[in-house]
Amino acid sequence: MYGSGTGLYRGKMKAFLALKAGMVQHREVMKEVAASVDGSWVYYVMLILAALIALLGLLINSVAVVIGAMLISPLMGPIISSSLSFTIGDLALAKRTFRTLGISVALTVAVSALVALLSPLKEPTAEILSRVRPNILDLFIAALSGAAGAIALCTKRNYLITSTGVAVATAVIPPLSVAGYGLGTWQPMLALGGFLLFFTNFVAIILSSDIVFFILGFRTSHVEEPQHSHRTRLAVITVLSVLISIPLVYTLATDVARIKNEKRIGRVLRSQLDRELVSRLTDYRYRQEGDQLLVMASVNTVRFLNKPAQKEIEKDLAREVRRPVRLELEQVIVASESQLKDQTAKGALEQAKAPKESPAELAAKVRPLVARVEQELAGALAPCLVGRTTVAFSGDQEPLLVSATLGRDYPVARDERLLLSRLLERALGVPVRLQITLAPMLKPMVFAKDGSLAGQSRDELEVVRHLPEGPAAFRFIVTGPKESGREQSVLSRYLTEQLAVPAQAVTTIKSPGGGGVVTLRVVRNDK
């Protein structure tokens, strides 16, 4: 009974597909496809324009511009044509389509590489980075889109709307622009990732549209001399799809594991550090270091967490992610309004009880402490250098004015200034008003006669290794006149290759004039 029911169902399905296949004008579809295979000058002009628009959209990180490039690109035509030639076994048509595709891919990558080489925008944006790690989901998206495009081509139902949607969903032109960008900026891994995404989309579209064409009645009988059976051709493209799927599945599994780890780490840190009126987690990140995870977290707190408490958090993290964890905790001392009022009142009471001291006595007391204060400031602000510290007296009722010069390229935050003021007040025993003047963190770079960095500049750059939270938390801005391109490149390479600075964290700026001086500023990333 079950077998007869299944047979009836199969019979109805075959009859339905035969009916739909009979409605397709096979010869007209093949004629239309064959006529659009050979690229005309209009085709290549539109392709170049689409590649340029896609690249510029990627460089300025604009989703809308990238989508516009997808709509302009004519590359989907040859891809669908190659699938049809594969289905019907037309070797002559296949040669023409793959010749057009080869020229199109090479032209798109070459134009994108040339523009990327000449462009002042070199940093990889989020739009670029999102297209260098394809996973198995990208293959499924391309396969479904290819099937939709093949159905629209054969039935002519909503063809214009459907083909537009397919162009956006498959997104074959932006990955090629990313590949060109990677070559033009000499970032081969980005180029490889972009081309892998394009090739994934290409194979998935051919496979899915080939199946659709076969179901809708396209056969080798439509050509005079088919070269291979459809089963053989389908087996080849299926094997190729499986081979492509292996790295894509691995990438997807890696991304899923990373997201899970981020959620687990965030859950543990928030449960341990988010305490009302005591502490609050402000940021965290992690990276793999050998067999263990390095977790870097920042917290605002009213009192420092001691080492045993940090070790307890490490144990909770290791138990949650099931691997060894090392925690680096950046603690910023803050105070609520009520605490500040209580401390101010307490300090005023203690001052009222204390005997008054003359300015001369206070100056004599302060002199031996200034060196200690400078030492404490240097420890709190390391690795940035603290310059000359001065102390000024304004009167018996005025707080002590302490001025210090700090070699740093980004401003002192309000919470950080409050912490430094308290350090000085504890050291001096009097109210303090702190003024900090910023100076460049690094002196202008010095280069040897052979163009390499001089030893004194290399020694100064060692401070980069000791930046809080590591170099990834900062941006490195290399500035110099137009004629200093070589020196800027030498400095940028030294930062990335010798000091482990991420390439995307380095920005080069050409400034008018400057007398050949190349400078480096180190600023925090925007939160």
Which of the residue ranges 59-68, 153-162, 377-386 would you say has the lowest mean pLDDT? Answer: 153-162
Q: Has residue 86 got a pLDDT over 70?
A: yes
| pLDDT tens digits for range 179-209 | 999 999 999 888 988 888 888 888 888 888 8
- At residue 94, the pLDDT reads 76
Please state, for a pLDDT cut of 70, what percent of the chain lies above it.
Answer: 73
Contact between residue 304 and residue 315 where contact means Cβ atoms under 8 Å apart? no
Instruction: Kindly report the pTM of this predicted structure.
Output: 0.51
Locate 10 and state its tokens. Answer: 């199969």
| pLDDT tens digits for range 205-219 | 888 888 887 777 776
**Residue 359: enclosing H or E segment and its boundaries?**
helix 359-381
What does the pLDDT average to over 297-301? Answer: 84
DSSP string, 288-312: EETTEEEEEEEEEESSPPPHHHHHH
Q: Which residues contact 211 (CB under 8 A, 6 or more apart)?
A: 147, 234
| pLDDT tens digits for range 412-425 | 877 777 877 777 77
Q: What is the DSSP letter of 220?
A: G
Q: What is the DSSP letter of 24?
A: S
Q: What is the pLDDT confidence band of residue 222, given thresholds at 50, 70 and 90?
A: very low
Find where tokens 């297209």 sit.
Answer: 131
Rounded to the nearest integer, the mean pLDDT of the chain is 77
| 309 vs 136 pLDDT, higher one | 309
| 159 vs 262 pLDDT, higher one | 262
- At residue 183, the pLDDT reads 92
| 83 vs 60 pLDDT, higher one | 60
Contact between residue 77 and residue 36 where contact means Cβ atoms under 8 Å apart? yes
Q: In this structure, what are the phi and psi dihedrals at residue 271, rounded to the nearest 5 degrees?
A: -65, -30
- At residue 179, the pLDDT reads 92
Contact between residue 89 and residue 152 where contact means Cβ atoms under 8 Å apart? no
> What are the CB-based long-range contacts (under 8 Å, 24+) for 89-97?
89/220, 89/223, 89/226, 89/227, 89/228, 89/229, 89/230, 89/233, 90/222, 90/223, 90/226, 91/225, 91/227, 93/33, 93/34, 93/37, 96/37, 96/38, 97/37
Q: Has residue 22 got a pLDDT over 60?
A: no
- At residue 48, the pLDDT reads 92
Contact between residue 113 and residue 184 where contact means Cβ atoms under 8 Å apart? yes
Closest CA to 420 of 407, 404, 408, 399: 404
Question: What domains appear along the chain, each with residue ranges and CATH number?
Answer: 17-227 (1.20.1080), 257-333 (3.30.70.1350), 357-439 (3.30.300), 455-524 (3.40.30)
Most confident of the following: 375-389, 408-422, 439-453:
439-453
Q: Has residue 109 got a pLDDT over 80?
A: yes
